[in-house]
Chain A
Amino acid sequence: MASFFGGGAAGGGGGSGVQDQQQRKDQLKQQIQVELATANAQMLINKMNEHCFEKCVTKPSTSLGSSEQACLSRCTALYAQAFDHISQKYYQRVMKEASSTPEASLEAQRL
């Protein structure tokens, strides 16, 4: 009902004003960033799961034991730490290559 009285923009079809376009543009940008951030977090969780399961649950039994849980807590913290560290190192290297040889930095990013 409400769409008859100017609610058209919400439906995605109408709304051609400059302000409306600005709004939709910002919305789209934000949506893209949120989706990428989610994918990034998802990836980190999957990797933690994979590596920490391997390290901490060496013989899967009928339930997760308390020592396994303690190991998983330590492991996820360490994995996050390693991730931060490596991320820092990688960006440093990309910067360094970019300032010396533009060609090499392209190759570093392409890896």
Chain B
Amino acid sequence: MSATAGAQVPQAQFDAATQRELQEFIDQEQAKAKMAATVHELTDTCWKKCVTGSISSKFSRNEVSCLENCVDRFLDTSFYILNEVKQQRNQLH
């Protein structure tokens, strides 16, 4: 999926058990990196949505609640659309 997916451990330098361990480590780190990338995207999206006024030293009450709800509603939207598309596809068949 991502450009880095499927990164391989250099084989010659490690025995089989170590290679497996490193592959597992890399897979885990890649999963973490993907989630971190999602957090960056969400912050970007939610900042644009919620921080509309000028910048003061603290977030306003509205901005705080908007940011708080933004993640869950974005993910809700994503699930909703996914379902909708699935249903539309089912109707076609």
Task: Using CB atoms and an 8 Å cutoff, list the residues of chain A in contact with chain B.
Answer: 21, 24-25, 28-29, 32-33, 36, 39-40, 43-44, 47, 51-52, 55-56, 71, 74-75, 78-79, 81-83, 85-87, 89-91, 93-94, 104, 107-111
Which residues on the B side are within 8 Å of A111 (C-beta)?
A: 38, 75, 78
Q: In the complex, A104 Cα to B55 Cα: how many Å?
A: 36
Given A43-B37, A74-B57, 8 new contacts (CB under 8 A): A21-B15, A21-B18, A25-B22, A56-B55, A75-B55, A82-B67, A89-B71, A93-B72
A33→B47 contact, CB < 8 A: no
Which residues on the A side are within 8 Å of B47 (C-beta)?
A: 51, 79, 82
A21-B14, A82-B47, A85-B67 known; A36 and B29 CB under 8 Å?
A: yes
B15→A74 contact, CB < 8 A: no
Say if the beta carbon of B82 comes within 8 Å of chain A: yes
A-B CB contacts (within 8 Å), total count? 100
A32-B25, A86-B42, A107-B82 known; A93 and B18 CB under 8 Å?
A: no
Residues of B in contact with A, size category? 35 or more
A32→B26 contact, CB < 8 A: yes
A85→B68 contact, CB < 8 A: yes
Interface of A is mostly: helix
Q: In the complex, A25 Cα to B51 Cα: how many Å?
A: 45
Name which residue of chain B comes closest to A109, CB basis: B35
Say if the beta carbon of B31 comes within 8 Å of chain A: yes
Shortest Cβ distance from residue A77 to the other chain B in the assembled complex, whole angstroms: 8
Task: Using CB atoms and an 8 Å cutoff, list the residues of chain B in contact with chain A.
Answer: 1, 13-15, 18, 21-22, 25-26, 29, 31-40, 42-44, 46-48, 51, 54-59, 67-68, 70-72, 75, 78-79, 82
A21-B15, A32-B26, A86-B39 known; A109 and B79 CB under 8 Å?
A: no
A24-B14, A25-B22 known; A71 and B39 CB under 8 Å?
A: no
